[in-house]
């Protein structure tokens, strides 16, 4: 596991009225502070990545559908520099992934439907000076192939 990354398996509590799932709590070990809550979607087969933040920690889960969330540690001083983590999260594997600053991350829609992704970052989005630094999905700077691995 990349240093500073944490995962929390989410528990779904069903009853005759529906279901409840706690996602992120202020007493979670990796909770730092609240910045904002936002949702994004990703269409089947689409890759959104790569990017990282200098200040912001992300706390990402997938509420509907499934995604492949991939992390790459490019931090010079990290004991896990060069490591890649893959997480398959969503309806069939409810999980929250905590991503520290300076760790590249991206996601791919892997369900047959649009996936609904929720993020609770530690910082509100700064429209004047965004804390977001991007690379294209197939950059040679990150040793990762987004294609599906059959076999």
User: What's the number of domains the chain is made of?
Assistant: 1
**CATH number of the domain residue 96 falls in:** 2.60.120.10
The pLDDT value given to residue 88:
98
Does residue 38 fall inside a structural domain? yes
Does residue 17 fall inside a structural domain? no
The pLDDT value given to residue 147:
95
Does residue 24 fall inside a structural domain? no
Does residue 21 fall inside a structural domain? no
Does residue 52 fall inside a structural domain? yes
Does residue 78 fall inside a structural domain? yes
The pLDDT value given to residue 151:
87
Q: CB–CB of 10/63 below 8 Å?
A: no
Does residue 108 fall inside a structural domain? yes
Does residue 97 fall inside a structural domain? yes
pTM of the model: 0.96
* Beta pairing partners, 70: 86, 106
Q: What range defines the domain where residue 75 resides? A: 6-12+33-134
* Beta pairing partners, 126: none
Instruction: Please name the residues in contact with 45: beta carbons below 8 A apart, sequence gap of 6 or more.
Output: 108, 109, 110
CA angle 62, 67, 69 (to 5 degrees): 95
CA atoms of 55 and 100, how far apart (whole Å): 9
Per-residue pLDDT of the chain (151 residues; tens, 9 = 90+): 999 999 999 999 999 999 999 999 999 999 999 999 999 999 999 999 999 999 999 999 999 999 999 999 999 999 999 999 999 999 999 999 999 999 999 999 999 999 999 999 999 999 999 999 999 999 999 999 999 989 8
The pLDDT value given to residue 51:
98
């Amino acid at each position: 596991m990349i240093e500073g990354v944490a995962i929390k398996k989410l528990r779904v509590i069903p009853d005759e009225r529906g279901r409840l799932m706690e996602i992120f709590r202020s007493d979670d070990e990796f909770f730092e502070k609240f910045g904002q809550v936002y949702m994004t979607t990703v269409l089947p087969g689409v890759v959104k990545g790569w990017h990282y933040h200098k200040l912001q920690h992300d706390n990402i889960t997938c509420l509907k559908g499934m995604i492949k969330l991939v992390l790459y540690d490019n931090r010079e001083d990290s004991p896990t520099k060069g490591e890649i983590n893959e997480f398959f999260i969503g309806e069939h594997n409810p999980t929250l992934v905590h991503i520290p600053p300076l760790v590249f991350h991206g996601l791919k829609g892997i369900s047959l439907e649009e996936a609904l992704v929720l993020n609770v970052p530690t910082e509100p989005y700064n429209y004047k000076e965004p804390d977001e630094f991007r690379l294209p999905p197939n950059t040679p700077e990150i040793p990762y192939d987004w294609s599906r691995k059959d076999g």
